[in-house]
Amino acid sequence: MSENQPRRPLRRVLVANRGEIAVRVMRTCKDRGIETVAVYSDADRLAPHVLMADRAYHIGPPPARESYLDGDKILAVCARAEVDGLHPGYGFLSENDHFSEACAEAGVTFIGPPAAAMRLMGSKTRARESMIAAGVPVVPGDNGPGGNGFPDVDAALAAARAIGFPVLIKASAGGGGKGMRLVTEPGDFAAAFDGARREAAGAFGDDTVYVEKAIIRPRHVEIQVFADTHGNVVHLGERDCSLQRRHQKVVEETPSPAVDAALRARMGASAVAAARACDYVGAGTVEFLLAADGSYYFLEMNTRLQVEHPITEAIYDVDLVGWQLDVAAGAPLPMTQDELDARRRGAAIECRVYAEDPLRFLPSTGTITHLRVPTGPNVRDDSGVYEGSEISMYYDPMISKLVTWGSDRAQALGRMRRALSEYVVRGIQTNLPFHRRVLTHQGFCAGDYDTGFIGREHDAIWGDDAEAAPAEPDQAGPTASGDLAVGLIAAAIDRVERTPQALPELAPEAGVSAWRLGLRAGPWGRGR
């Protein structure tokens, strides 16, 4: 977009998501006087994002493929609600280039990057080629003949021998660790190759794999980038996301204990180059593996807003969702790189609170019977649940993101420990006991950790009472039968008083949100 082209004001935005990210986006929209439209499945009929929205539309049964992943249904709601823009959040359709194009064809502003950038960065092999051409460091590897992956194990093994073991076999269309195998010996390669291809085909419908050098005990450090349609690209520093289980992030912090100002500037410059290489627009994240010697390598680019964006917001005192809305409307970035660098302050940490067994990291379903959320100075909890919420098997088990800020890392960690001690959830299991323990682990407190930390330090984290951990007091419901009966009766009475008999679909012509009509639940009920 050139400087003299008119901006596209956003007056009504549909949030094509659920849970905490839908609530998060709607809050910024409401701050700006932008009307909000929610979509919901049967399982989310009384979810917070539905009750917060100015308008809400039912889009199907609980399975995501029949609701939140059904682009046709969502576009039909866009037409019915006459929205100007659509914010996809993260997950679901947020990185679907076909959906982005369909939004444009329907005259709806997709609040995200261009479809071409999604396609380029969505292919690991093409992304690697693009990064090499842009001068961005990449892990030594081989994308296969013509850069199109390896069609057979013999060619892949030859490439692995040339690279040098240990190697990783990775799915070109992969993510979240699916279709990925670590191979330390040539004799194990064939079985790992076949397994990676099968898993990639099942997860992504694409069995293309490539081979790259395995970096031993790396840190996972990502750079937040932002670009507008006027040619401006900036970065907002790094986030250390090395604390992971099964390749999924659990704790993130900024700044990284392993990154100094000089390394931050180099990695930031590489991330900006990556964004320019794909003509990026909007919020994106360039992920790197950081080796112990300070060398770093491009891993992938996430073409959306990241789950952990609040810690970046905390140290720069900005609203990244607000930036997304402005850039989508055609505005230039509000700050230069120098202004951002001067604005940076303090440290922030995020703990992802999951409904899961804290030892085995297996999902826990059920009803939240009691919820007490921490508050206080520089404590933020982005949540998509309330007391009485049902945690189902259909969606990601993350129930909130707990964020603390401090003038330095020690203060941010101290606040997080205090906040975790105040956080109480009953009726389901959560990983709160894990967070409390890992944040007192000597290695983590010293900033000495990498992507293998949780698996390697499991026994040290839990000590002698690991088997008892899931039964910590805040995880269990009432144990005495009398207490249980009283609790259930009280909960039933409270639910009747606070919950409407039915939540009608809010028609566009109604113009009044469930929030204002009193169709509320949980902490937002009448009289609360």
Tell me if 403 sits within 8 A of 321, measured CB to CB.
Answer: no
Catalytic residue, chosen from 55, 119, 304, 380, is: 304
On the CB side of 237, how many CA atoms lie within 13 Å of its CA? 33
CB atoms within 10 A of CB 191: 12
The two tokens of residue 395 are: 């969606």
Q: What was the pLDDT predicted at 174? A: 75
Q: What is d(CA 446, CA 373) in angstroms, rounded to the nearest whole number?
A: 27
Estimate the crossing angle of helix 309-316 against helix 320-328, to 10 degrees.
100
* DSSP annotation of 384: S
The two tokens of residue 32 are: 């700006």
Residue 496 CA, chain-centre distance (Å), reads 34
* DSSP annotation of 424: E
CB atoms within 10 A of CB 208: 23
* DSSP annotation of 389: -
The enclosing H or E element of 411 equals helix 409-422
Q: Give SS3 for 390.
A: strand
Q: What was the pLDDT predicted at 464? A: 64
Q: Give SS3 for 137.
A: coil
146's torsion region: left (phi>0), alpha (psi -120 to 50) or beta? Answer: left
Q: Is 380 a catalytic residue?
A: no
Q: What is the pLDDT along the chain (528 residues), one digit of tens a residue?
A: 444 445 678 999 999 999 999 999 999 999 999 999 999 999 999 999 999 999 999 999 999 999 999 999 999 999 999 999 999 999 999 999 999 999 999 999 999 999 999 999 998 889 989 999 999 999 889 989 988 899 999 999 999 999 999 999 999 887 767 899 999 999 999 999 999 999 999 988 999 999 999 998 999 999 999 999 999 999 999 999 999 988 889 999 999 999 999 999 999 999 999 999 999 999 999 999 999 999 999 999 999 999 999 999 999 999 999 999 999 999 999 999 999 999 999 999 999 999 999 988 899 999 999 999 999 999 999 999 999 999 999 999 999 999 999 999 999 999 999 999 999 999 999 999 999 999 999 999 999 999 999 999 999 999 865 544 444 444 433 333 333 343 344 344 344 333 333 344 444 333 444 433 334 333 333 333
Q: Which residues of 10-33 are buried (b: 16+ CB within 10 A; e: fewer)?
A: bebbbbbbbbbbbbbbbebbbeee
The three-point CA angle 315-22-116 to 5° equals 80
